[in-house]
Amino acid sequence: MIIKQKVSDLMNAQIKSEFAASAQYIAIAIYFEEAALPELAQFFYRQSEEERMHAMKFIHFMLEAGAKPLIPGLPEFKNEFTSPAEAVQFALDQEMKVTDEINNLVTTAVAENDHTSNQFLQWFVTEQVEEVDTMTTLLQTIRHANGNMLLVEDFVLRNPQHAVAADGGAT
């Protein structure tokens, strides 16, 4: 194994976090679909696919580096929201938590002199900037719409840069 054990353990925890985020985004998408907001539903379904892709990136990296990825059990998810703003705030809070986790992974990789993992993790550092920005912008848009969710639907439809990253994945 060319990556350090501490880093490998944290990557396995991150796999759980990414799969959990993927499932949570499906729950948020369902909330928007039930509210007859199809653009927001599709936005969060795409978010779910991206989080799954993130987990798979960790899995493939670990396998290539000789570490054993573990597929975790997942926690309970929040399925009820009182408003679109609450759902998106929950997603933003989740992205902030993942950002902290990625930063902790980088700090550990540096402390362990695990340059291979540190290099790999830099993509995620950049990705988290995009993720937090996307959710922040969406939350601000909901607040500016003053309850008119059709304006938000239109925003999501007209601003695909907030729905699809340059690498083809959703942000």
How confident is the model at residue 28, as a pLDDT? 98
DSSP assignment of 94-163 equals: HHHHHHHHHHHHHHHHHHTT-HHHHHHHHHHHHHHHHHHHHHHHHHHHHHHTTT-HHHHHHHHHH-GGGT
Quick: pLDDT tens for 33-59.
999 999 999 999 999 999 999 999 999
CB atoms closer than 10 angstroms to residue 50? 21
Tokens in use for 91?
């997603």
How confident is the model at residue 74, as a pLDDT? 82
How confident is the model at residue 159, as a pLDDT? 85
Amino acid code (one letter) for 91:
A
How confident is the model at residue 154, as a pLDDT? 94
CA distance 150 to 128: 28
The size of the chain, in residues, is 171
How confident is the model at residue 44, as a pLDDT? 96
Please give the radius of gyration of the chain, using alpha carbons only, rounded to the nearest integer: 17
Homologous superfamily assigned to 5-162 = Ferritin, core subunit, four-helix bundle (1.20.1260.10)
- For 38, half-sphere exposure in the C-beta direction (CA atoms, 13 angstrom radius) is 0
Tell me how far CA of residue 86 lies from CA of 12, 14, 17, 28, 143, in angstroms.
Answer: 29, 25, 21, 10, 11
Q: Where are the beta strands (DSSP E) in the chain?
A: none
According to DSSP, residue 147 is labeled T
Q: Are 20 and 75 in contact (CB under 8 A)?
A: yes
Over its length of 171 residues, how does the chain's per-residue pLDDT go in tens digits? 889 999 999 999 999 999 999 999 999 999 999 999 999 999 999 999 999 999 999 999 999 999 999 998 888 899 999 999 999 999 999 999 999 999 999 999 999 999 999 999 999 999 999 999 999 999 999 999 999 999 999 999 998 665 544 344 433
How confident is the model at residue 164, as a pLDDT? 43
- Each domain of the chain, given as residue ranges in start order, spans 5-162
